[in-house]
Structures are given as C-alpha cells and as structure tokens.
Structure 1
Amino acid sequence: MKKYFKQFLIVIAAGLALSSCHKIEVKPNSLYTEDVFPKTDAEFQSVMGTIYTSLRGHYSLGYWFAQQLSSDEAILPVYGGNWLDGQGYIQLHRHDWNKDHGWITTVWNDANSIAGLCNQTMFIFKNAPDGDSKNTAIAELKTLRAFAYWELLDMFGNVPLDTIYPSPGVQAKATRAQVFTFVESELKAALPYLKTTTGSSTYGKVTKWMANALLAKLYLNAEVYAGSPKYNEAIAACDAIIASGNFAVEGRSTYLNQFSPTNGPSFKEFIFAIPYDPSTSNGYLFHGRYDLNRNLGIKYRYSGSTPGSYSFNQIIMNQTSGNGLVNARPSGPRATLSKFYNAYFTSDANDVRNNQWLVGLQYWPDGSPIMVSTTKKGYDQFYTGSDGATAMTYHLYIDSVFSTRLNAASLDMGNDEIAWNMGIRNIKFYPDANSSSRNQSNDAPIFRYSDILLMKAEAILRGGTATSGHTALSLVNMVRSNRSTSPAWTAVTLDDLYAERAREFTWECWRRNDMIRFGKYETIYGFKTNTDTYRRIFPIPTAAMNTNPKLTQNPGYPN
C-alpha cells in the first residue's frame, strides 16, 4: 500500500471525531493528488479499511451490551460491588436507563461516526478515476452507511440524516419513516454495483448478499419502523439470497463450529461477518472474559492458562502455583436467566444448540470433577461459624438460578463462590485456547443464511405471499433438520418461530430486535418490572443534545 494511503487513514480518522458531531466548519483537505487517487479494487479497499475497523470495535462491546442486556437473554449482575460500573449494566436489564447512560451514548457515537467516516471517504473517492472499481467502492460505502443508519433507526428512531461532506452544519431529526426510506433507497441503489462473489476474497466485506440481508431485516421490521408492513418485499430480498445458491445451513455437526476461534469463510452460512484477531488492539471480541465462570480458565485455556504437567484429577482451582500451572481467571459476570434457558433449551434433548450452555456440575475433559479450593467463609460470605477460615474444596457447580440472597435493588449477589457460580453461562463463541490475551479470534456473524430462511418464514406467517414452493413450515424445518435429530415439526405458529429464533441466534445481537417486533419487550422478566413501551427506542444522549441544539428528546424521556 502506498504511503499516501497510510497518511490518509491518519487524516481521515482525525476528522472522524468532528464528523460524528455533525458540525464541520473546516475546509476539507486531502493528501491525494490525481496521481495517487485509488484506482484498483485493492487500493479502494485499503482506504475503506478504517470503516471496517470502526465497525469491529463497535459491534462486540457497546452494541452487544445494548442489544443483549436490555433483552431477556442476558444479564450482568453485580458481585460485591464488582461490575457495578455506574449501574450501567443493571439499568439495561431493568429498563431504567436515562439519557446519560454510558453504553447508549457509546452506540450513538459509534454509529454516527461510521456514517460520518463513510461520508468523508465518499468525498475523497468522487474525484478518483471512473470505472467498475470506483462504482463498487461507492456502493460498498453507501451500504456501510445504510447499515449505520439502520442501527440508529432501530435503536433511536428519529435521527438526523447527515449525508454530506463537508457538512453544511447540524441537522434536525428526520422522522423514523424518512430514515427508513433513506436506508431502503441507499441499499437499492447500491445493489447493482456490489460484488456477488463469496469466499475468502470478500469475507468480512459488503457484498450484494449482505445488502439484501439488511434489506430483508429492514422490511421485516417495517411496521415497527415506518408504520406499514412490507412482508412481500422482505420475502423478495430473502429470495435473492436463496436463489443465488451461494449459502447453505450448516449441519448439526458443524453448527457450533461456526462460532469457534477457527471460523471463517469456509462456513456456508455466513453472509456477513466481522473478523476478529487477538493480535489487534482495535476491536475486541472477548466473550470468554465475560461468559466463562472464573474457575474455568484452565479447562478452556483462557488467556494462556495451562494445567502444566498435572493430570486433571490433581488440579485444584484457585491454586495458581506449582508444576507449571498457569491459572488465568476470566471475569465471568455475564449469564442468562433461568426462565430464558428453561423456555427454549430444555424441551428437546436432541438439539445441538443446547450445548452452548454451561450449567450444573463441571468436569475436566477426562471426566474428573473440577474441584475448587477456598474457605468456608470464602465459599459463603454469610457463613457464621467460628471456623470460617478453615480450608475446603468443593465440586464446581454452576447454578441455573439467582438465589433469593441476591439484592433485588442493586442486583448485587455478593462476593463469594456461591455468588460467582450463579447463572447459566454461554460458550457459543468458544474461548480461544491459542490466544495469550483475553482477545479472541472468533469472527462474529451479523447475517447468517439460517436467518434468511427464518425471516422468510416469519414474513409468510405475517401475511406475505409464499414463493418458490416454500411454506413457513418447510423453511423452519430446513433449519431445524440441521439442529436436531427429533422429528420435523408438523405445524408452526409465530410463537413457535419466536422460540426458534431464540434458540438459533442466542448471543448474536438479535434478541432485542426480535422482542420488539413480537411485542415481548415490555414483558416482565428477571428483575425487570418496567413495562414502559417508549423504551423500545433509546434516549438521545445528553452529549449529542449539547452538540446539536436542533435535536429533540425521544418521547417518554425528560429533556
């Protein structure tokens, strides 16, 4: 890559902070001259890399927390004050966030920054030589910008549409319906110019199929976003992907491998995924840190953990010295609610998706029990005997429920072994044994082929016209036949489909979106009693309101 491209990335990243505020008064400058404008596909891609880097940093942290912790799928409690973090996580669970919430502010800033960076890059590309490479690059940028505005549409409703660089100044909010129309028109305009190839050459990049998947998601939620259903349009977008023949549902034996540290373009379900790499410092996927019980570091080789030369039945967790033992302890604060787990993962013992959970007694690979060293008081902080300092070991047990000892007001469970072992843990994104840091190399899929099939099934059930000989039942069974050895379903309802989506897309950032569309987001679950419907969208952050005086707060939230 020419040195000019490296310099440009620095300049454009510096300008990004300004663009995300929608207030540009500085005349834009570029290091490009006519002889160094990008001309080849590789050169265009090298410049756009910064946008993908921003997306990677955004998706598995702020976006994950906002989408998952505000649903019934995940909870991050407090452990004796650990992970209180300004109550940000428990506010998401209880639906009592406000306009100063840290993660909500983060996702607002992230999505607007990605859109702003797309604007800047398109401004640079406009003077590049015309040709197929330029047309494809512009289409890719339009799709990435549409994705950012789809996120804003989905999370915040009415938002400013700032699509010009240099910006003419701060913009008032467009209506949600107007943002919907903008995203739709951008994707449709981009489709003819996007790449259709799949595999390693386009992995992690925008393609025609990614744009169609986003269109399908947009249309499936059209009634929520814009007030009118577009189920036939959703079906058409799904059909474009299905008819391509480029994708397939992974079999039962490889379903969980899709999310492993060795996943990648070889998996036929991936339509659009975000690649992660432990060697990079910009963009973390470290689900192991959040999801593994803190006594399971060695079993899953978390962050370089190793049992050394011990045999498994000699290892006692919480003892970190001797014979080469390295015991890195994951934080392990995230879990699911027993109601969610029991509703979707206990009725079919033949479903491979059950295997993404850790619950009950835990064992080493050779079947030996995982024993943990502590004291009586360390095991139970409420132990009142005089021998509280007496050493003890116990067989690690991950409890499926949060006991009544949990403080319902603060969601603080205490800081002992009982507390840290409460809550079913998810290892769908399997810990990366080859990483010496908490960062993992598991790529995160945003759109998978199974989602296309289930979206089409849902659109049919909601009144769309069936096509290509498919029925809602046949489409759901295409997915289920690759997940369970149990008999195929003989009927399917919207409630059945809602449950199937819970099983299929756990931990993949779709639960909040699904709950809102199915009218479940206001229900009571876990420690949430708030049923306010206005919380289907998040508040405009204080920082954004201060920067842009034309913004108005979303309904229900105080200014």
Structure 2
Amino acid sequence: MKRINIIKSILYTSTIVLGVSCTNLDEEVLDGVVLKETGGTVNTASLLKTANEGLRGFQDQDKMFALDEMSTDALVGPTRGGDWDDAAKWRQLHNHTWAPDNIEIRNAWNSLLSQVYNCNLVIENGTAGQIIEARFLRAFYYYNVIDLFGQVPYREAGSAVESDPKVWTRQEATAFVISELEAIIGNLPARIINDASLVNKDAAHFLLAKLYLNKGVFNAVDPAGPYTFDAADMTKVVTNVDAINSSLATDYWDNFKPTNNTSPEIIFSSKNVRGTSGGGIQSRWRMGMHYQQTPDGWNGFATVAEYYNRFNPNDRRIKNSDQYIINAFGNNVGFQVGQMKNGKNRDAEGKDKDANGVAYTNLPAGTINLKDRKGNLLIFTPALKLVISDAKAIESAGIRSQKYIPDEADLGAPENDYVLMRYSDALLMKAEAILRGGSGINDPVKLAQLVTRTNVAGTVPTTLAAIYTERGKELWFEGWRRNDMVRFGKYLEARELKTYVSANKYILFPIPADALFNANIKQNPGY
C-alpha cells in the first residue's frame, strides 16, 4: 500500500505540496495518515488538529513573523559581535537584500503550504463540519501566501500527489479565497465567549475585510503599484466589519495577558495551554530581553528608534507599568529603554541565589539597577547599528520589546493565546475603507474608546495618513506592519537603518529554489 508521511519533515512535506518529483513515497506513517486513493483511510480529525496547531507557526520569532515585521521599519535583528548573525538572514530581511536562499523565506513558504495540504486532505475526506473548518483554515493560510509571495500553487480535488500542482496568479488566488469564504460563512458557528481559537463567523468576516481592503494591491498589474482601490470593494470591507459581533477590551493589555482568552476583542487566536504548548509565544518576551532580566532573554531583536519615537512616551500601548508587573519582572511590559531593574528576588547581576546557593527572598523587584555580564549598568539605548562590534553596546544597544505579558506560572510554555485577529484592527480597516471611497458610517464611540484607552490625549484618526500612523501604534508586532506599509506605498521607502529606496522586486518575496522544480511555478520578477 502506498503511504505518505504528512509531517515527517517540513522539507519532505513541501515537496509533496509543491510538486517536486519524489521517487520513493513508501514512507513510514508517523501520524496515522493513509490516503483513500490507495485503499486506506484518512484520519481527518488528526489532520484538522494539525492544521489548527499549524497556526502556532505565527507565534515564533522566525518564518511569517520575521517576514511581516523584520522587513519593515519596526523590527531589526542586528548582529551582536559573534552572535545573532545567522548567515546575515535577519539583516537581509531588514535591509531588503534577501535572495531565494534566505532560510526564513523558505520556511515560511513550507509552513504555510504544508498546512494547506493538510486542509486539502480534510476537505476531500472529512465530515461536513470538518470540511467547513478546513476550508476556513485553508483560506487563512492561502491569504498569507498571496500576501507574501503573490502566486499560489494549488491542487484540484482528486489529483494525484505525484503530479505538479497548478498555479494561480495573485488575482486568481484572491478571487478564489474570497469566493471560498463567502460560500462557507453562513455555515460557520458564532464566536464562542472566552475561546476565539475556534474557527468562527467573525473570523471569516475579518478575513474577508482584509482581502477586500488589499484587493487593489493583490490585483495590481505591477505588485509594487500603483494601486487602485475600488469603491465597491471598500464597501465590502465596511459590510464585513459591521457584521462582526465584537467589542473593544477596556484595557489594551487585556489582549495580551496570560488569560487573554477572556478579552472580547480577540476575534481569532492560536490557543495555548500552560505547560503543554505555546513554546513559540515566549519569543515575544525573550527575543530582545537581556540574559539578566526577568524573564531572562536572548538579547537579540530590537525596535528601531524611528518607529518607537512616533509614540507618546506615556502611551499605555508601549508602557504597561502596573505594579503587579513591576513586582514580578522589575520593568514595564511593552517597549523597554533606559536603565533596567531587577526582577522578583533577583540581584543586580540577575542572580536569584547568593554565593551559598540560598534563594533571595528580600530583594524588592524593580529597585536594583541591573548590570550586564561584564558588570556595566544595563542601560538599553535607542542608538542601533545593523552590525554591533562595541563590547558594551553588544548587550545594551537597541530598544527592547515585550508584546505579551509573561506568564509567571510558566515562562516557557505559557497560557497566553496568540492573537491573529483583533477588533481594533477591524475598526481601523473600516475607517480606512470609508476614506478610500467605501459607503458606511464609522462608530464614533468605539473609535473614541480606541483612542482614549491609550492613556494619552488624542483624536480619532480622520485621514489616511492618520490611519496609517494609528495602525503602526495599535498593532505593533502583530504581523500586519508589512501588509500596511505595502498598501500605503511606504514599504520600499528609505528609513533609519535602510537609507535607500528598495527595488520594486522586494515588494514580494522570492519563490524558494526547491519549489521551482514544479514546472508550473515561475520565479517572481527580479530574482
């Protein structure tokens, strides 16, 4: 019996998805999957679970997150002495100098399309309820392929796995995903209170709004523009946002705390269970944190000062200094700059035990100035270079970030669910769509709440420029920055650490080299 291992390795899976010829398909089945066409059965429940768990790929600091944020004006991964170079892959992303061999580009492609493959198996073999759920998940994964890569490989139902997938153009793929969502949305369940990780009707409306908002980009003859936004498409954005049954959380940080599943604002998420999953989300507090801090970090990524300086210093979205956070971690959650303090029961060197191995219990958190590993005061500075050679700056250069409130109970496998869609994003999409010609009326109360909960005096954004600025503040490090910069024509522009205008080809990422074994796929222009 011919058997196909779906998840033995990402590279092997991608060769199936992308149609790379494979002469030996008699692989050991590690997940119990045997194709029907070979006389066996398909464990669709297992595949659907895998497709849902695939959403955790967005939690990691690499793959889709790196492409969506590192390639923008917000996030940078500098080389720190001999650390964090990784064959220059992070600097390539920020500087727009990547090539088809950048491993994060390949991994993002493989990650997205391997889950499309799992969804396809469920769609061809599952129950009615499973099929509806899989069609939504496939649409979400396809959306990201459209956004990042343009062209999209696909398989017609019943096609042999040995055959090369066909390929949609960006326009064809966009039309397909819209038609899929509109076909299934009536059969999707309402969002369940306290668990937005389950596929739901509101999530479909959100994704449709996102597709219609970007349709002018996705349908453009030249991916780099100019873009034309059709008024009818913008009205579709408004209609879909109005159909979402949601509200804003009173506190911005309710969306990112360990119990964030209770936030009414989260429309769709990737579920984590303390102690058993969620390892990737720890990157949101470890990727830039210093080794001596609480939680201890990896001393890597940083925020570009130019981006940080757009915020009011008192904006609660970048500085949650609630006392319980200071008591537990020593420093605010959000962006961190300046002198870092000790965390709970830690001394200036970040140690939690004295020389005799006795645990500290009488060190007030947030009161003792932390030091780096060489004994210098640990002061995070805005000044930043892509290659840092100064011994002191290696550990201190760059503003650091924590988008999620660390889970004290388990810092490595926390309870925080990962937010994929938020109602604040939907409200800003609607406001933008109306300014681009869509028919509809904004909700002044909700938009006012969006502004007032920032804890700074502000006004509701009423221009496209103001919407763009507000999206950068509201949605920092949530995976939308590249998408926004492209749509507003800002992505290729010069900025603080990339002092030149990028070539038009960088508006899309290249197709990874191993995918080009499929004769139906052509490399994106310019690569």
> TM-score category by the smaller chain?
0.7 to 0.9
> CA-to-partner distance for each residue in 1:292-332, whole Å, 9 max, x for gaps?
12331xxx3x2xxxxxxxxxxxxxxxxxxxxxxxxxx4212
> CA-to-partner distance for each residue in 1:377-406, whole Å, 9 max, x for gaps?
x4xxxxxxxxxxxxxx4432111122xxx4
Identity of aligned residues (%): 29
* Match in the other structure for 2:268: 272
How far has the Cα of 1:90 moved from its partner? 0.4
How far has the Cα of 1:477 moved from its partner? 2.6
Match runs of 1:24-43 below 5 Å: 29-30=34-35
Query: Which one of 370, 383, 401 corresponds to residue 426 of structure 1?
Result: 401
Match runs of 1:175-190 below 5 Å: 175-190=169-184
- When structure 1 is superposed on structure 2, of 334-343 and 255-264 the one drifting more is 255-264
CA distance in 2, matches of 1:149, 1:50: 16
> CA-to-partner distance for each residue in 1:173-230, whole Å, 9 max, x for gaps?
3211101101111111111111114224x53121111111111000101110013534
How far has the Cα of 1:426 moved from its partner? 0.9
How far has the Cα of 1:120 moved from its partner? 1.1
1:458 lines up with 2:432 in the alignment: yes
CA distance in 2, matches of 1:272, 1:551: 32
Counterpart AA for 2:49:
G
Counterpart AA for 1:260:
K
> CA-to-partner distance for each residue in 1:35-75, whole Å, 9 max, x for gaps?
x999xxxxx75651111122213543311111110001100
Query: Which one of 476, 480, 483 corresponds to residue 506 of structure 1?
Result: 476
1:250–1:482 contact (8 Å) kept in structure 2: no
* Match in the other structure for 2:492: 522
* Match in the other structure for 2:201: 208
1:63–1:107 contact (8 Å) kept in structure 2: yes
Does the C-alpha gap of structure 1 residues 271 and 138 become closer, same or farther in structure 2, counting only changes over 3 Å? same
How far has the Cα of 1:103 moved from its partner? 0.3
CA distance in 1, matches of 2:337, 2:453: 24
Query: Which one of 253, 256, 261 corresponds to residue 258 of structure 2?
Result: 261
CA distance in 2, matches of 1:282, 1:482: 28
Counterpart AA for 2:388:
M
SS at match of 1:447: strand
2:241–2:430 contact (8 Å) kept in structure 1: no
* Match in the other structure for 1:75: 76
- C-alpha root-mean-square deviation of aligned residues, in Å? 3.0
* Match in the other structure for 1:64: 65
SS at match of 2:388: coil
* Match in the other structure for 1:385: none
CA distance in 1, matches of 2:305, 2:45: 45
- When structure 1 is superposed on structure 2, of 411-420 and 500-509 the one drifting more is 411-420
> CA-to-partner distance for each residue in 1:495-547, whole Å, 9 max, x for gaps?
111110011000101100000000000111232134212211000111111x3
1:290–1:334 contact (8 Å) kept in structure 2: yes
Aligned length: 469
Query: Which one of 542, 545, 551 corresponds to residue 513 of structure 2?
Result: 542
1:220 lines up with 2:202 in the alignment: no
* Match in the other structure for 1:396: 378
Does the C-alpha gap of structure 1 residues 241 and 463 become closer, same or farther in structure 2, counting only changes over 3 Å? closer
1:215–1:234 contact (8 Å) kept in structure 2: no
* Match in the other structure for 2:359: none
CA distance in 2, matches of 1:189, 1:330: 45
SS at match of 1:483: coil
Query: Which one of 114, 121, 131 corresponds to residue 138 of structure 1?
Result: 131
Does the C-alpha gap of structure 1 residues 136 and 483 become closer, same or farther in structure 2, counting only changes over 3 Å? farther
Does the C-alpha gap of structure 1 residues 211 and 204 become closer, same or farther in structure 2, counting only changes over 3 Å? same
Counterpart AA for 1:509:
G
Query: Which one of 337, 351, 372 corresponds to residue 359 of structure 1?
Result: 337
- When structure 1 is superposed on structure 2, of 71-80 and 269-278 the one drifting more is 269-278
* Match in the other structure for 2:152: 159
- When structure 1 is superposed on structure 2, of 115-124 and 286-295 the one drifting more is 286-295
1:220–1:230 contact (8 Å) kept in structure 2: no
Counterpart AA for 1:330:
G
Does the C-alpha gap of structure 1 residues 294 and 10 become closer, same or farther in structure 2, counting only changes over 3 Å? farther
How far has the Cα of 1:351 moved from its partner? 4.2
* Match in the other structure for 2:140: 147
Q: Which of the pair has more CA radius of gyration?
A: 1
Does the C-alpha gap of structure 1 residues 498 and 294 become closer, same or farther in structure 2, counting only changes over 3 Å? same
CA distance in 2, matches of 1:373, 1:118: 47
- When structure 1 is superposed on structure 2, of 361-370 and 99-108 the one drifting more is 361-370
2:15–2:21 contact (8 Å) kept in structure 1: yes
Does the C-alpha gap of structure 1 residues 89 and 294 become closer, same or farther in structure 2, counting only changes over 3 Å? same
CA distance in 2, matches of 1:64, 1:195: 28
Query: Tell me, which stretches of 5 or more residues in structure 1 are unaligned?
Result: 1-8, 39-43, 126-133, 303-328, 379-392
2:381–2:396 contact (8 Å) kept in structure 1: yes
CA distance in 2, matches of 1:33, 1:267: 46
2:17–2:165 contact (8 Å) kept in structure 1: no
Query: Tell me, which stretches of 5 or more residues in structure 2 are unaligned?
Result: 27-32, 221-227, 321-333, 343-363
Query: Which one of 383, 391, 413 corresponds to residue 416 of structure 1?
Result: 391
* Match in the other structure for 1:248: 247
Does the C-alpha gap of structure 1 residues 520 and 475 become closer, same or farther in structure 2, counting only changes over 3 Å? farther
How far has the Cα of 1:275 moved from its partner? 1.6
1:494 lines up with 2:488 in the alignment: no
Counterpart AA for 1:483:
T
Does the C-alpha gap of structure 1 residues 505 and 239 become closer, same or farther in structure 2, counting only changes over 3 Å? same
SS at match of 2:303: coil
1:401–1:422 contact (8 Å) kept in structure 2: yes
Does the C-alpha gap of structure 1 residues 256 and 549 become closer, same or farther in structure 2, counting only changes over 3 Å? same
How far has the Cα of 1:31 moved from its partner? 8.1
How far has the Cα of 1:484 moved from its partner? 2.9
SS at match of 1:221: helix
* Match in the other structure for 1:371: 370
SS at match of 2:479: coil
SS at match of 2:204: helix
Q: TM-score, normalised by structure 2?
A: 0.81
CA distance in 2, matches of 1:244, 1:118: 25
1:51–1:117 contact (8 Å) kept in structure 2: yes
* Match in the other structure for 1:20: 17
Q: TM-score, normalised by structure 1?
A: 0.77
* Match in the other structure for 2:502: 531
Counterpart AA for 1:514:
D
* Match in the other structure for 2:280: 284
2:191–2:202 contact (8 Å) kept in structure 1: no
SS at match of 1:108: helix
Does the C-alpha gap of structure 1 residues 340 and 150 become closer, same or farther in structure 2, counting only changes over 3 Å? same
Match runs of 1:458-477 below 5 Å: 458-467=432-441, 470=442, 476-477=447-448
* Match in the other structure for 1:306: none
How far has the Cα of 1:12 moved from its partner? 4.8
SS at match of 1:160: strand
1:159–1:175 contact (8 Å) kept in structure 2: yes
How far has the Cα of 1:345 moved from its partner? 3.8
CA distance in 2, matches of 1:54, 1:73: 25
CA distance in 2, matches of 1:553, 1:526: 30
Does the C-alpha gap of structure 1 residues 220 and 342 become closer, same or farther in structure 2, counting only changes over 3 Å? same
How far has the Cα of 1:160 moved from its partner? 2.1
Counterpart AA for 2:370:
M
1:213–1:452 contact (8 Å) kept in structure 2: yes
How far has the Cα of 1:454 moved from its partner? 0.4
